[in-house]
Amino acid sequence: MSEQTRYILNESDLPRRWYNILADSPVKPAPVLNPQTLEPVTPDVLSVIFPMNLIEQEVSLDRYIDIPEEVREIYKLWRPTPLIRAHRLEKVLGTPAHIYFKNESVSPSGSHKPNTAVPQAYYNKVAGVKAMTTETGAGQWGSALSMACNFFGMGLEVYMVRASHDLKPYRRILMQSYGAEVFASPTNLTDCGRAVLTQDPDCPGSLGIAISEAVEVAVKSGGLKKYGLGSVLNHVMIHQSVIGEEALKQMDLAGEYPDVVIGCVGGGSNFSGIAYPFLRENLKNGQRTRLVAVEPDAVPSLTQGVYTFDYGDTAKMAPVVKMHTLGHTFVPPSIHAGGLRYHGMAPSLSALYDAGLIQAVAVPQNATFDAALLFARTEGILPAPESAHAIRTAIDEALDAKEKGEKRVILFNLSGHGHFDLASYQMYLSGSLQDYALPAETIKASLSDLPEISL
């Protein structure tokens, strides 16, 4: 077997189509519901939030969707991204496993998020939208959409979870450098934000609250602004499929095929991006790759949440979807430094997990940062804390292969670098980072306000 390290595609290999898992999935997500009536949502209701061209993608059952040339030209700034064989990590672990990672950290904003930010900004621009609103947790999504809106000459308001806003000021500065306005959520600028602050003036914020603020601003703009979401919904999963489509070609170059594909999950976008094309090969072509989604112990929506209908945001303004959820009132603990803070999970991914087609594990915070530093010290890349969850599980898989004396081909998605997450690493290195397993009573309380759906 070749000891080659990097597997590089040419610009001509950049995918020309996105892949839509809904065309092949044996389980279909439940209908999206109107948050006011709890009846199936209509396009005219969604159009208050999203442009119609993205709504059409959201409900599409087409297997493939053409990537506009304007989007492909911007993709070429960083795509195709490299596939790397982690030889040095393998050697330190003493494992017979072969470990590969798809390096999405090479994008201009440092993560996989521009894969959907660029098309979302493009489709909004085509639809005549003047500006966008969005939320961001750790800042990867806000950075990506800030860059994309700048490319298309559009304004952007970003509502950033306060805990992350305070912990990661350089993410805020990057977004502002691209021209975005950034607000620490909850704010006094929206009805939702003011209501939260009235109850808890020191609220650290959550993605659910930040989504509510961004959606409220879009709804009240009279059509001038639309909302952009960085995960969860299916048009986002579709755009991210470029990761897996490239990885399939690159694994072919490596002369191997993964036994297991791993990605971290918060809302599901980077995991789905790499995993869904491999799931297609399982469903259509007889492959047997295990697909493992990794979440934090502090926000265990797949492994401890319930599969039911829930609001996508705290203020009940976003559509209601059936997903694995901890409840829309869930607020992650402020000591949680590893990102992946959303209360729910993508409906398509939730349905696949419920059907047993995808596996999930939850990992503790300090073990995750242990893995991140081992990866940095062997492969030279300081990963985003979110990506470190996937690294933790890839290492665990490699050690399991060592114990069993078996070769195992492992592929994980390095969804971003950690250059703007040094405050979290400082906490870890100083010994002040705490593990936090979500108590059962906290989950029970956060699930107490689920909508009652008769479907």
| Domains of the chain, earliest start first | 6-13+80-110+242-446 (3.40.50.1100), 17-67+112-227 (3.40.50.1100)
57 contacts: CB under 8 Å, gap ≥ 6: 65, 123, 234, 235, 238
362: closest CA among 429, 288, 448, 266? Answer: 266
Q: Identify the segments of the chain with pLDDT beneath 50.
A: 1
Q: For 169-186, how does the pLDDT look when each residue is reduced to its tens digit (9 = 90+)? A: 899 999 999 999 999 999
Which tokens hold the place of 417? Answer: 């670098």
Residue 102's identity, in one-letter code, is K
pLDDT of 2: 52
How would you label 190-211 residue by residue, b for 16+ Cβ within 10 Å and e otherwise?
A: bebbeebeeeeeebbbbbbbbb
Residue 102 carries which DSSP code? E
The amino acid at 220:
K
Where b means 16+ CB within 10 Å and e means fewer, 421-444 reads beebbebbeeeebeebebeeeebe
CA 260 to chain centre: 19
- Rounded Cα distance, 57 and 80, in Å: 23
CA distance 263 to 413: 5
Q: Is the dihedral of CA 321, 323, 328, 331 positive or negative?
A: negative
Q: In the prediction, which pLDDT does 169 show?
A: 87
CA distances from 383 to 289, 327, 351, 378, 413 (A): 25, 29, 29, 12, 11
